[in-house]
A = this chain, B = another copy of it.
């Protein structure tokens, strides 16, 4: 990353966290140059970039100011209430009925789990694919099934190393997307009837997988910015025979919360103390807006207790279905489970991604992707401030492509979902994110698609429906 980009990211973080407030003047070029010990031209470049990102704007003869859009207009949701000790999970039907309704391509996809495929370098990937399948030695289509594509394994291990996580290569198991990795992780450490600690609200697939495997959920509330509540977790680990934790420690879905570094250390301490493995679902880690990625709990993992799951589906290659897990002491078990269920992800898909990682300009693509998602987040936040009731609360994650809205209490989000769908707009209603069907007045909205008049009109329509409750 260039110095001016770093500087821009630092200032963006100051805006995001409220150090610089809406309408406030950004430090002059001279001041910034002195403060950050960079040349004035670096400051200029950083300010141009921030202007381009929609975070600051120039006023004639007055310098740069923080834009209204760039700061919070609606307030932040509170942390959820404490949950019952453990819950049988029975939410799958509801999730499928919601997901089934998303299939119509004419629907405004606020309820979708996927960002727009137009944000991904599919043509460049296609060239990598064409080249690698043409040049692949026939033996590789067999050999790469059991062991995984060796170049891909090296590239993944390299990215871990660069981000400060040291892995033994044989910890890595390449999977059919992160969801297969998560399933296998859970199967490697649980039996039907066991208790698993999950977040509340949680990614709905987590709930479905628990239900399928007949596991019981111990729901731990998530703070909208600081992640899973460690006090509750400590209490539950003390009192209950929890067999595994399944957490998204960074950019949690649906809240976008990330555990601060110190909390990650505290979490790892708890896990070690109780010798409970962590399934760390980190599929959004590359979508951070801030200057640096969040470090995973995996970085602290001396005991091989953490199974760190990642994927290219959100960062590079949707539909290619290539993910992985760095599985610590559970790697062999998971690798064997995979050989008994799907054997391997598609060999050509692995090879294409390996080639792209080596030659395609992944980091350049990621910067562009993050920038687009951040712009779209600003647009959705601004639109929500215009159209939703003032009492609405909303998260403002430092990455990803989801916002979590907490509407006034009387709003029934399952009804909202139905009414919106009748108007050609999908949303992801709160209850699909909870084993206890909580969050009845909440919804997750996807801003992973380029913002346009249709998006704006859909937000206005949603606002009118919300008002009608």
Contacts and interface: CB of A to CB of B under 8 A. Distances in A.
Interface stretch (A33-41, A45-53, A122-130, A425-433): A122-130
Contacts of A337: 212
A330 to B, nearest CB: 15
A104 B129 CA distance: 27
Contacts of A208: 340
A318 interface: yes
Q: Which of A99, A144, A177, A343 has the most CB of B within 10 A?
A: A343
Given A141-B122, A179-B341, A319 B336 contact: no
Interface residues of A, number: 58
Given A133-B129, A341-B180, A319 B142 contact: yes
A302 B147 CA distance: 42
A318 B142 contact: yes
B179 A212 contact: no
Given A321-B347, A340-B208, A342-B179, A141 B117 contact: yes
A441 B56 CA distance: 79
A447 to B, nearest CB: 16
Nearest to A127: B134
B125 A133 contact: yes
A180 to B, nearest CB: 5
Given A117-B141, A138-B118, A346 B343 contact: no
A395 to B, nearest CB: 24
A105 interface: yes
Contacts of A352: 348
Interface in A92-132: 92, 96, 99, 103, 105, 114, 116-118, 120, 122-123, 125-126, 129-130
Report how many copies the assembly holds. Answer: 2
A285 interface: no
Interface string A307-326: 00000000000111110000
Given A138-B120, A177-B343, A345-B346, A146 B92 contact: no
A142 B113 CA distance: 10
A151 B94 CA distance: 30
A411 interface: no
Contacts of A126: 130, 133-134, 136
A141 B125 CA distance: 12
Contacts of A103: 143, 146-147
A382 B347 CA distance: 36
Given A192-B192, A340-B209, A346 B318 contact: no
Interface string A375-403: 00000000000000000000000000000
A342 B175 CA distance: 9
A390 to B, nearest CB: 35
B344 A321 contact: yes
22 contacts: A105-B143, A116-B138, A120-B138, A122-B133, A122-B138, A122-B141, A125-B133, A126-B134, A130-B130, A141-B319, A142-B319, A145-B318, A145-B321, A179-B342, A179-B343, A209-B340, A212-B340, A320-B346, A321-B347, A345-B346, A346-B349, A349-B349
Interface of A: 92, 96, 99, 103, 105, 114, 116-118, 120, 122-123, 125-126, 129-130, 133-134, 136, 138-147, 176-177, 179-180, 183, 192, 205, 208-209, 212, 318-322, 336-337, 339-349, 352
Given A126-B130, A342-B342, 11 more contacts: A92-B340, A105-B143, A117-B138, A117-B142, A129-B348, A142-B319, A176-B345, A180-B342, A208-B340, A212-B337, A321-B346
